[in-house]
Amino acid sequence: MRRPLVIFAFLFCLGIFTANRISLSFWSVYGLTLTFLFLSLLFFKKQLRFDIFLCCLVFLFGIASLKNSRRLPECHISRYTSYKNNYLYIIKGFVDTQPLFQNNRTSFIFNAQEIQFGNLKYKTCGNILVRIKDKRNLDYGERLILSGALYRPFGFNGPQRQNYRDYLYNQGIFSVMSVKVAVRLNENKGFIFRGLAFWLRQRIEAMISQHLTPASASILDAMVLGEKRNIPPLIYNSMIKSGTVHILVVSGFNVGIVAFIIILFLRLIRIPRRMRFYIATPLLILYCLITGASTPVIRATIMAIVFMFAYLVQREPDIYNSCAVATLAILGINPRQLFDIGFQLSFISVISIVYFYPRMKSFLRLDALKIRYIRLVIEGCLVSFSAWLGTLGFIAYYFRIISPVTVLANMFIVPLASLITLCGFSLIIMDLTCPLLVPFFAYSNEFIVTLLLRINAFLIRLPGAYLYLP
């Protein structure tokens, strides 16, 4: 099978990685890129030369993209801030994410449009991370005037290689504001579709916390909505130690379940194949927004859409190509994502599963195994082992921890997590369609979550389950 997109995605990533190491100016890279574009046009009919020039062009495009993303506009909000000063800034703009209440303060991303300090007022742009003391009932898209201290995020070098400031920079946030006064302007500038997603998220969160105990609700929130803020630190740390923390995010599996439910429902009501694709695509995007559009979910959503599209046009779907499309789409919008841990782990785990799993399966001649259930268990182990193998180096580098128990833990935890996710979606659907049955589903959820936590606690107590690196 031809996979030109994989080559392009690889070269684009390589370009971004190289740009981080070299100090060429944007315009010199841009000039080189234009030269290779011209050469590609010139040798359009010469197969090999065209391919080489096109590859160079994509590589240079990667470099130029990162250089461009590092250049901030002249009016960017970060140009008005230093690490710490005592100015009182007044900023006009709108709330760009759903406000979160945690540690007795409300925080959200704020899209700044106008800044005032002293008597000087300027038009500005860019996002800031806003923190307000106490709980505030603010909504996505709401226009506000905020006043308070504005400063650049601090580094906080922890055990991880990437610090908090780098993380925020990769998300496009260069300033933090501690707000003293927030004034509402009673206008809304948000996108309706995104607003709808946040509203649905709130409803589902409320629904889950209504039926489950706080600990179980926090686990289910993480698995169904990607909301990790309520997970007790003890549980979170124990899952890091057992290498199963990946189940606490919304991943391709969840997107797959949502796509399956949507397609199944549409098939039941006899919607034609083409129409099913047109209906399922916006619904998957809506789910992506509900879960906060984190990198793994965006990757999984794009891959699911590419897969469905392949079936629609009756072409054989290829997981490498769909992964390449997802890479190019995410990095095309924000090349800095290449340096984000979530991005790296998400892609490397998918690629290593796709690469190692079939090879290991054929090496062990699993297809010859007659007993189906044993085969399924071994296959599950192999998937888990493939993902662990791929991510091992990254986890050791960033988190300074190696968890040999991961392979064993994933054997039990992953099937249970899949079951919890399925039960979680069933709970939500039941609450909407048949509220009388909800308590039964809630009890099942509660039991499986408890089982998962107990197995996890047992596994990390095994000798040599995990070890911290110096």
Q: CB 19 → another protein: shortest distance, Å? A: 13
Binding site for another protein (CB under 8 A): 2, 4, 7, 26, 30, 33-34, 37, 40-41, 44, 47-48, 50-52, 54-55, 57-58, 61, 64-65, 67-68, 71-75, 332
- State both tokens at 431: 């609450």
Q: Looking at beta carbons only, is 7 or 285 nearer to another protein? A: 7
Q: Which residues contact 288 (CB under 8 A, 6 or more apart)?
A: 255, 297, 298, 301
Q: Which DSSP symbol is given to 76?
A: B
Q: Which is nearer to another protein, 75 or 271 (CB)?
A: 75
State the minimum distance, in angstroms, from the CB of residue 372 to another protein. 40
By C-beta, is 73 or 282 nearer to another protein?
A: 73
- Closest approach of another protein to the CB of residue 172, in Å: 13
Phi then psi for residue 319, to 5 deg, are -65, -35
**What's the closest the beta carbon of residue 155 comes to another protein, in angstroms?**
25
Burial class (CB in 10 A: 0-12, 13-18, 19+), 456: buried
The nearest distance, CB 14 to another protein, in angstroms, is: 16
Look up residue 151 and give its two tokens. Answer: 């400063």
State the DSSP string of 403-470. -TTHHHHHHHHHHHHHHHHHHHHHHHHHHHH-GGGHHHHHHHHHHHHHHHHHHHHHHHTSTTS-EE--
Q: How far is the CB of 6 from another protein (least distance, A)?
A: 10
Q: Determine the Cα–Cα distance for residues 412 and 398; give it in Å rounded to an integer.
A: 25
Nearer to another protein (CB atom), residue 57 or residue 168: 57
Nearer to another protein, 138 or 328 (CB): 328
Which residues, including other chains, have CB under 8 Å from residue 285's CB and lie 6 or more apart?
193, 301
Residue 170: CB minimum distance to another protein, A:
18
Distance CA 37, CA 61 (A): 10
Closest CB to another protein among residues 62, 390: 62
Instruction: Rank residues 58 and 128 by Cβ distance to another protein and give the closer one.
Output: 58
Bridging pattern class, strands 142-151 and 467-468 = unpaired
